[in-house]
Amino acid sequence: MPDDSNAPPPKQDQKAEPVRPSSSSEQQLDSLPAPYPRPQDVQDGKPPKRDAPPAPYSLHNEPPIPAPYTQDPKTHPPQTVPKREQKPPAGSKLKWLWIALTVLLLAGVAYLVWPKSSSAKNPTEKGKKGGGPPQTQVVGIRARKGNIAVYYQGLGSVTPIYTVTVKPRVDGELMQVNYREGQMVKKGALLAQVDPRPYQIQLEQAEGQYAKDQATLENARLDLKRYETLIQQKAIPEQQVATQRATVLQDEGVVKSDQAQIDSAKLNLVFCKITAPITGLVGLRLVDPGNIVHASDSNGLLVITQIDPISVLFTIAEDQLLQVLQRMRKGQRLEVDAFDRQMQNKLAGGTLTNTDNQIDQTTGTIRLRATFDNKQRSLFPNQFVNARLKIEEKRDVVLLPSAALQRSTNATFVYLVQENSTVTIRNVTVGTTEGESAEITSGLKEHDVVVLTGADKLQEGSKVNAQISGEENRHSGKSGGKSGGKQDGRSRGKAQ
């Protein structure tokens, strides 16, 4: 075993001489919290005994070295010296007191005013507090009697009655153009002119040939007279007289041919001046001056379209044709209105003039033609229009706005306002519909009040407060069974 006699002794901490704190230091230490040791508890420079943590492991199993004066942060957390609280000034307390009083005052005013204003804004709240069912605000309308027309509507297009493509009838150079594009021209007006000089020369040649052949004819006629005198004297044979007669007839034929040549040359001179065959609107120029035109050209010089009057071709179903033909046979004048694509604006009004002679089997429709006065040029060729043919006009029928009609999968109904300010569901039968008005053939009478707006919140027996459209005073619902009763004109109060 090794000898431990020469081993150096373990090092010991040198004991520090206790230091006596001063009187001021003692007072500060006295003010410290309890976890800190007081000076009087310190003996021989050592702190009082406390529960120390276990000693660290030593290789030589020597007693642990006393630890310096420390405190366990887990059991004795460090504490800081509290700061002195500064007292707020007296003025700030007074300020907060005034703020609290102001808030209380505003709360009291709101408590007094709020119930009154809420009850004024919601008049139906009283009914709820009083125990009655709430009333629904709706807008009503009265059924009225009036006239409504029956129309057949069809798609159509504006078609000119006359459209002419002007072409040259002689060959030659186009010398001048006497019209403007888009100009309204009258029948017989000079539009253009082809060079007439070649045809003037042809006329002179024909006239010269005519004069020559006419002289030959006169000579043949004189010879025939001489031969007829000589044949009586039997100075010449009869064959010579017969030959001379044939010569005269031949010369007469030549003269007639020459006359025809003269007339043809004169006609060509007339054709050199191109005139308007109809009164209408000139389109865009197709040939400019200086070009050589031919009578065989496929394209013309210009197109003239008659604008006033103008027609509209439209179609109706073949099932509707019988009623139209019956009225036309009676001599009735059926009115036709032309509307724009959106069916919003009426463009022109005219009359039905004719029908086609056969039905289109592919579509099951027949074409009709209506004629319109178009002095304002509201209709233009090939324009798309909606044509509306008036068949008849029903008089003194019950009318109601289409917006008041409610529809379900099985029927059409309305909400009828009764005398007790409740609504009931009433089935109705709708007849002719025109625009925003509908004919009611059964289910309603004149002066019945039905709900126009607000029907989405209603059901059978709902209480309503109806504002009658077109009337200044509110209606309390006195219309149901006595809908045809007298109206005294006095202002009615709100529904009870």
Backbone dihedral angles phi then psi of residue 406, each to the nearest 5 degrees: -110, 140
Look up the CATH number of the domain holding residue 224. Answer: 1.10.287.470
The amino acid at residue 383 is: Q
> Which of 271, 302, 333 delimits the end of a domain?
271
257 occurs within a structural domain = yes
438 occurs within a structural domain = yes
249 occurs within a structural domain = yes
Tokens of 87: 């007292």
Look up the CATH number of the domain holding residue 433. Answer: 2.40.420.20
Is residue 201 located within the same domain as residue 144? Answer: no
Give which of 433, 435, 427, 436 is closest to 407, Cα–Cα. Answer: 427
Scored b (16 or more CB within 10 A) or e, 353-386 reads: bebeeebeeeeebbbbbbbbebeeebbebebebb
What are the CA-CA distances from residue 224 to residues 215, 220, 230, 238, 304 (Å)? 14, 6, 10, 12, 58
418 occurs within a structural domain = yes
Q: What's the domain range around 425?
A: 136-148+394-468
> Which of 271, 306, 329 delimits the end of a domain?
271
With 70 as the cut, is the pLDDT of residue 136 above it? yes
Query: If residue 148 lies in a helix (H) or strand (E), which one and from where to where?
Result: strand 144-159
The mean per-residue pLDDT over the stretch 28-55 comes to 52
107 occurs within a structural domain = no
Percent of the chain with pLDDT strictly greater than 90: 43
- Tokens 């500064």 -> residue: 86
| Region of poorest pLDDT, from 97-101, 226-230, 329-333 | 97-101
348 occurs within a structural domain = no
pTM of the model: 0.56
427 occurs within a structural domain = yes
319 occurs within a structural domain = no
**What is d(CA 415, CA 459) in angstroms, rounded to the nearest whole number?**
8
Q: How many domains does one find in the chain?
A: 2
Is residue 264 located within the same domain as residue 203? Answer: yes
| Region of poorest pLDDT, from 56-65, 79-88, 200-209, 479-488 | 479-488
Write out pLDDT tens, residues 137-185: 888 888 899 998 889 999 999 999 999 999 999 999 999 999 999 999 9
Q: How many Cβ atoms from other residues are within 10 Å of residue 39's Cβ?
A: 13
